[in-house]
Chain A
């Protein structure tokens, strides 16, 4: 028998190939369809399970609870508002009484304050007494106020005078407020 005789006709081979292609096409179509259906269902279900409604319901419940406390809430906001404004005012206001306190503290006992004027920018102090040593100490201490407490600067001794009738000295000091 001749082995070279091909019993399978070329037509059958072609048909087999066609069948294979068809099987592959069907399988591919099924896989794609199944995949798409699975994904669509999955995404649909996941979308359904997102808890938006329950969150909104909880929000509504909490809002209802808060609305019962509305008066308290308003008071709380007002407390916050007052506290903020008071903090600002306290931070902004000038400490003139403190400056006056510091100046009084450096005036020696044997000197009298004839005049003290303090405003937002300037301090003016006129002190009288019989002792020049005390006046000298006053001037030194006022200079120390500038250096240590840093509340005044540009200190100027405007006048040092003697009233011969009363035998008293008078010194006038001026400074800028920092």
Chain B
């Protein structure tokens, strides 16, 4: 009995002490999945000697958590999958301005205008499809996707990229049109997935005909399997469906004396080795260090991405999630 009590007290003390963060690893909230960016974190930890603890989750969820945690968050770095979620954290005043040299490493198109976050890699929205199931012409604009032939469309309505895409639609075309589009999609029997990669796998397997994803998931599947049945199709109408957006990273105000370490992490992610990793391992578009994109990839300038002030995207994120909820997709 006494031994048990001592054991319990010790384990509880140990547990309580895990709340104490000083001298502990650098805490990163990552809206990007472990599969994709885990190796990068490990490489950074090995090279720099700085220990990293990563909390993986949905970009939007982590943004909401950070805002709830407020100024005394446990995290020091936020690595988001899309500009809208990191933008909302910035707008809540939780990100500290980055060093100008750091921000200067990246194409300004892909960074926060006010220097609170920078893009680390860029990705384009695409429609993944299974050519064996689809015989007719492919869509050119996102508005066509409400047609009955696109029933069963694969979407990931809780995913940050999708929500950023909806926010972009509001910015470009207004709320009413966006609501109408969402309701039409919802009425068209969509197939919801929790994340993007299962959408691509499902398309490849022939479970669905079309899916709305980011461009690189298919390429990853191709690398894994050698070949895929499914293919990527870039929309050409220049609407929100052709959105190109960066995955952004920023340092939280709560970083305090870990700011130097956090800055080192960002520098690493913008370095040639990390950017090459993005180009050749995750098949995204690199944004720094002069690294070229993967050969088989359609070059960025050939994409019909709409002209959008990405910094303002976050202002529409809340409304986007409300509309998605009201349409019954979440």
* Chains A and B form a bound pair: no
Q: Which residues of B contact A (CB under 8 A)?
A: none
